[in-house]
Structure 1
Amino acid sequence: MDLDFIQKLIEFVSRSPIGELEIERDGVRVRIAKQVAPAQSAPQAQPPAGTVVSSNTGASIPPVARHSIRAPLTGVFYRSGTEGEPPLASVGDMVVEGQKIGVLEAMKTFNVVESDRTGRIVQVAFEDNAAVQSGDVLFVLEDLG
């Protein structure tokens, strides 16, 4: 891949609503992710599953382990079980392994999204009725150690 192509990809991601782009060409894989301010509702780039995130403020704060729950398939993401109901999971909620936290519709079939571990939800990456791709981060959990 040439640098001009990579620069065009960076510019594309910075101007588009997507938060992350990964492409492989000629045996070279490039992943571009942008960080969005927490106040915005756009999907945000997330650390890979199992990444330890810490603040470098000079204070002695132990690192916080975070875990990403990703879309198992491409489809439309719903935060609630049926229209008009409150979301199944929101930021700040404690969830347990196996708990239903969302729904993905693919080819007129509704698929349950379950938490694959216990933790506190610190981010919901997509709003209701959002189109998602397989592998997109849907939720970020703070592990409870």
Structure 2
Amino acid sequence: MDLTFVQKLIDVVSRSPIGELQIECDGLRVRIAKQASPSISQAGSPPQTASAPSAAVPSGVASTVATTPRHSIRAPLTGVFYRSAGEGEPPLVSAGDLVEEGRKIGVLEAMKTFNVVEADRTGRIVEIVFGDHAAVQSGDVLFVLEEAG
């Protein structure tokens, strides 16, 4: 993904009615979000609240470009996802943990069989998508890693 493409996305979002756009391509994630202007309000629109403060950008559009490649670890099969190796044990990994390729990071139970979910590359866990005991489908993203480079 090149910078010219990202600039075009910013321009499109700034001129459109959408408030946010997120794209992931080849392990690179781009999120573009409009910032609400406190002086401009639309009649009949419900107030919007921000979940986290963000830096002010003069153009009214904030863009975040992930400079470190990201990688999704997906569920290899449909089943129940567990964050720990056994009942009452601590989670195998948490957001922010650095993991090596082959490290056990989760467990999937399918048809009374427990299957290990391993990191398929080295990186830092930036997101754990599902909570403990969640039902997942084959192909669902379980973890997002920032690749170690």
TM-score range, shorter chain: 0.5 to 0.7
Q: Tell me the alpha carbon deviations over residues 41-86 of structure 1, each in whole angstroms, 9 at most, x when there is no partner.
A: xxxx9946x4212567789x77220000000000000000001111
What is the aligned partner in structure 2 of residue 19 from structure 1?
A: none
Structure whose CA Rg is larger:
2
Closer/same/farther in 2, CA of residues 76 and 47 from structure 1, 3 Å limit: farther
1:52 and 2:31 aligned:
no
- How far apart are the structure 2 equivalents of 1:108 and 1:98? 23
What runs of 5+ residues in structure 2 fail to find an aligned partner?
1-19, 33-56
User: CA offsets, 1:119-145, max 9 Å, x none?
Assistant: 000000000000000000000000112
Q: 1:62 to 1:105 in 2, by over 3 A?
A: closer
Runs of 4+ more than 3 Å apart: 45-48, 54-59
User: Helix, strand or coil for the counterpart of 2:69?
Assistant: strand
Q: For this pair of structures, how many residues does the alignment match?
A: 101
1:99 pairs with 103, 108, 114, which one? 103
1:143 match: 147
* Structure 1 alignment gaps of length 5 or more: 1-34, 36-44
Residue 85 of structure 2 aligns with which residue? 81
Identity of aligned pairs, percent?
65
Q: How does 1:1-145 map to 2 (within 5 A)?
A: 47=24, 50-54=26-30, 63-145=67-149
Q: Which amino acid aligns with 2:80?
A: V
Q: Distance in 2 between matches of 1:111 and 1:76?
A: 10
Is the alpha carbon distance of 1:47 and 1:131 closer, same or farther for their aligned partners in structure 2, counting shifts above 3 Å? farther
TM-score, normalised by the number of residues in structure 1 = 0.62
